[in-house]
Amino acid sequence: MATKKKKKAKKHAPKAAKAEPESVAIKGVPKEQVRETILTVAGEHGLEILRYLGDKKNISEFVIAEKLKLDMQTVRNTLYKLHTHHLVMYIRKKDRQKGWYISYWTFNKERVSELIESFRKQNLEKLRERLDKEEQNKGLFFICSKACARLDFDQATDFEFKCPECGTLLQQQENVRTIENLKARIREIEVDMDV
């Protein structure tokens, strides 16, 4: 009788919360930046694959799929996304028994910090362009009261100062706070990049 009670107690015991998988570690680069960059490039599967590859060299895509319990198509698509950004390298060898080629993958860790820097520069350029547009059109933006659209003066006149989404009358928007926020974000990135 006592054994049945123990079994029931074990069944109803609360399960431990699933731990967040550890991020990919790159020496000298904050883990969160590495994680965000990999997620941007290849999503959760990319993070999972790079975490598995770690310092291993020339790992078969079949082994990766088996170890991570992912289907081959997902593994290959993710590896190709990573390869597009040079985060992984591969060599191809012909399987003598089956006659087809197998790719063996290696994580290119040095590329991560270069990619982070490249994304920062792209982001900085976009912010500078947006700041330039905001400053050139200071006080000349129009917004829908339902927040459907935000248009500059030329766009607003094209739509006769009516929202292109819902048709309500557009109202003039002061963009001083937007300009201040953009300048702050630009300074933040420039400090991180030591510009």
Both 182 and 136 in a single domain?
Answer: yes
Residue 13 lies in a domain: no
Q: Cα(148)–Cα(169) distance, rounded to whole angstroms?
A: 11
Q: Cα(177)–Cα(139) distance, rounded to whole angstroms?
A: 11
Residue 180 lies in a domain: yes
Structure tokens at 112: 């991560």
Q: Are 75 and 65 in contact (CB under 8 A)?
A: yes
Chain segment 3-16, per-residue pLDDT in tens: 554 444 444 444 44
Of 67, 89, 108, at which residue does a domain stop? 108
Chain segment 101-140, per-residue pLDDT in tens: 889 999 999 899 899 999 999 999 999 999 999 998 888 8
Domain membership of residue 152 as a residue range? 117-193
Q: Please choose, from the candidates 193, 187, 180, the residue with its C-alpha nearest in 3D space to the C-alpha of residue 120.
A: 193
Both 35 and 89 in a single domain?
Answer: yes
Q: Please choose, from the candidates 154, 122, 126, the residue with its C-alpha nearest in 3D space to the C-alpha of residue 140.
A: 154
Residue 16 lies in a domain: no
Q: Are 140 and 119 in contact (CB under 8 A)?
A: no
Location of structure tokens 């078969």:
60
Q: Cα(76)–Cα(190) distance, rounded to whole angstroms?
A: 37
Residue 84 lies in a domain: yes
pLDDT interval class at 23 (50, 70, 90):
low
> What's the pTM value of the predicted model, to 2 decimals?
0.67
Residue 144 lies in a domain: yes
Please state the domain count of the chain. Answer: 2
Residue 93 phi/psi, 5-degree rounding, is -130, 145
Round the average pLDDT of the chain to a whole number and report it.
Answer: 85
